[in-house]
Amino acid sequence: MTPAQDPFYIVKDEIQDSIDKVQDTFLQWKQTPENTGEYVHLTKELLTSCESIQWQVDELEKAISVAERDPAYYGLNEAEIGRRRSWTSTARNQVLALKRNVEGARQKSVFGRSTNPSESIRSKKNIAQDNDEFIASESDQQMLLIKRQDEELDALSASVQRIGGVGLTIHDELVGQEKLLGELSLDMETTTNRLDFVQKRVAMVMKKASWKGQIMMIAFLVILFIILFVLVFLT
């Protein structure tokens, strides 16, 4: 299986694209002034994206663990398994480092604004509000992901049912054709037996009859053939 056809490399490319986009957003976030709506929006976007990428890396590592149990079955070797684990580890570390930077900057920004107790209380409330909004956003992301998975499962189930229906139809047709062939074979066998019987009877009659009788027999059969031909084809 070539890398272009290997599901691991397909998912890997998708995750790498997501990491590249997150890194670009991180650079934009660092250049954005704090205490602005854009800064808050980019912070939430970065944290949500990091969580999503971490989940994808976790799923990819689960798939690697399954392949590691029987590498030969999946056309892999220990070196390839090692390379795949090395990549997922690197990707995870990149995302975790970026996530820690964002979370650390957010905490520092919140607690470094003022030492006034009333402002500190307001800051804690803001933190709690941000956390609630982040949790709600993460919950929405999870619900959307679950919905997409349910839709994919429904589509897969419908495809399986269609394939099963086609299989049953083919089976019924094969059974019907087999039955027809059996009946045709039986009819041919019966007809063959009858022809053999008639040929034997005719041979016996021909042996017993004289040459005049044979001529009369042939004439009778010709006349009978003509009569049958007329009845069948001309009436």
DSSP string, the chain: --TTT-HHHHHHHHHHHHHHHHHHHHHHHHTSPSSSHHHHHHHHHHHHHHHHHHHHHHHHHHHHHHHHHSGGGGT--HHHHHHHHHHHHHHHHHHHHHHHHHHHHHHHHHHTS---HHHHHHHHHHHHHHHHHHHHHHHHHHHHHHHHHHHHHHHHHHHHHHHHHHHHHHHHHHHHHHHHHHHHHHHHHHHHHHHHHHHHHHHHHHHHS-HHHHHHHHHHHHHHHHHHHHHHH--
Tell me the one-letter amino acid at 235. Answer: T
Apex 65 CA angle, 62 and 66, nearest 5: 90
pLDDT at 173: 81
Q: Is 140 exposed, middle or buried (0-12, 13-18, 19+ CB in 10 A)?
A: exposed
- pLDDT at position 115, please? 46
**What is the C-alpha to C-alpha distance for residues 61 and 67, in angstroms, rounded to an integer?**
10
Are 6 and 30 spatial neighbours (Cβ–Cβ below 8 Å)? no
Provide the 10 A C-beta neighbour count for residue 23.
Answer: 14
Walk along the chain (235 residues) and give the pLDDT tens digit of each residue.
Answer: 555 567 888 888 999 999 999 999 999 998 888 878 888 888 888 899 999 999 999 998 998 898 888 888 888 898 989 999 999 999 999 999 999 988 888 777 655 554 455 545 555 566 566 666 666 666 777 787 888 888 878 777 777 777 777 777 787 888 888 888 888 888 788 877 877 776 777 677 666 656 666 777 778 888 888 888 777 776 6
Task: Spell 73-96 as b/e; 16+ CB within 10 A means b.
Answer: ebebeeebbeebeebbeebbebbe
* CA distance linking residue 61 with residue 24, whole number of Å: 25
Among 57, 44, 17, 218, residue whose Cα is nearest residue 141: 44
Q: Judge if pTM exceeds 0.85.
A: no
What local confidence, expressed as pLDDT, does residue 5 receive? 65
The per-residue pLDDT for 24 is: 92
Instruction: Choose which CATH entry (1.20.58.90, 3.30.1360.40, 1.10.1750.10, 3.20.20.100) describes domain 3-111+143-170.
Output: 1.20.58.90
pLDDT for residue 88: 92
| pLDDT score, position 146 | 84
pLDDT for 93: 93
Amino acid at 73: Y
CA distance 81 to 97: 24
pLDDT value, residue 74: 82
